């Protein structure tokens, strides 16, 4: 199920649509595996649908952090950071400095603190980057298939 959620996120982050080809058995029912996967995607979507519906690829000026995918809702001016591999304490977003008003985890609405001062040894591909925004993440990863951070953009 996690692979299907990641596939959905990856597709939307590239301006695509994902269609799942599922159908009933010859007896007119859905097999257990299909039901489990559809249920799992539905549970994730219950909490994270804002990062999918109405979203597409992020504008080119925003760099995608390693092990993440970005989706962008231009109407709401919200950027969504889908974190595929949870980092320890910090997530550095190159090119986001002075672009974000507020950040929160999408699954529970808890605030994510951030700083933009550049005094934390920030590096992007080995080079210090003055345009980096650093998110202060909880040590414990949220208990969802793929955590999403919602960024309220200026």
What is the domain extent for residue 102? 1-154
Give the Cα separation of 128 and 115 in Å (integer).
Answer: 15
Tens-place pLDDT, residues 60-92: 999 999 999 999 999 999 999 999 999 999 999
Which whole number is the average pLDDT over 32-45? 95
pLDDT at 113: 97
DSSP 1: -
Model confidence at 152, pLDDT cuts 50, 70, 90, reads very high
Nearest CA among 35, 36, 58, 42 for reference residue 8: 42
Question: Which of the pair, 123 or 140, is modelled with greater confidence?
Answer: 140
| Total domains present in the chain | 1
Tens-place pLDDT, residues 87-130: 999 999 999 999 999 999 999 999 999 998 654 444 444 444 67
Average of per-residue pLDDT values in the chain: 91
Q: For the chain, what percent of residues have pLDDT higher than 90?
A: 85
Query: Based on the number of CB atoms within 10 Å of its own CB, is 137 exposed (0-12), middle (13-18) or buried (19 or more)?
Result: buried
Q: Which of 36-45, 76-85, 127-136 has the lowest mean pLDDT?
A: 127-136
**Alpha helices (runs of H) in 19-93, residue ranges in sequence order:** 32-48
Q: List the CATH number of the domain containing 53.
A: 2.60.40.1180
Question: Which of the pair, 20 or 129, is modelled with greater confidence?
Answer: 20
The structure's pTM equals 0.90
Contacts of 27 (CB under 8 A, 6+ apart): none
pLDDT at 129: 63
pLDDT at 1: 83
């Amino acid at each position: 199920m996690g692979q299907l959620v990641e596939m959905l996120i990856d597709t939307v982050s590239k301006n695509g649509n994902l269609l799942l080809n599922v159908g009933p058995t010859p007896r007119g029912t859905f097999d257990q595996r299909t039901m489990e996967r559809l249920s799992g995607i539905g549970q994730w979507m219950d909490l994270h649908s804002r990062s999918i519906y109405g979203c597409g690829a992020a504008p080119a000026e925003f760099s995608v952090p390693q092990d993440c995918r970005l989706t962008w809702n231009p109407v709401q001016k919200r950027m969504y950071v889908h974190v595929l591999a949870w980092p320890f304490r910090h997530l550095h977003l190159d090119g986001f400095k002075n672009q974000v008003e507020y950040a929160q985890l999408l699954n529970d609405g808890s605030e994510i603190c951030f700083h933009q001062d550049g005094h934390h040894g920030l590096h992007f591909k080995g080079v210090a980057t003055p345009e980096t925004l650093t998110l202060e993440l909880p040590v414990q990863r949220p208990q969802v298939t793929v955590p999403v951070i919602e960024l309220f953009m200026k």
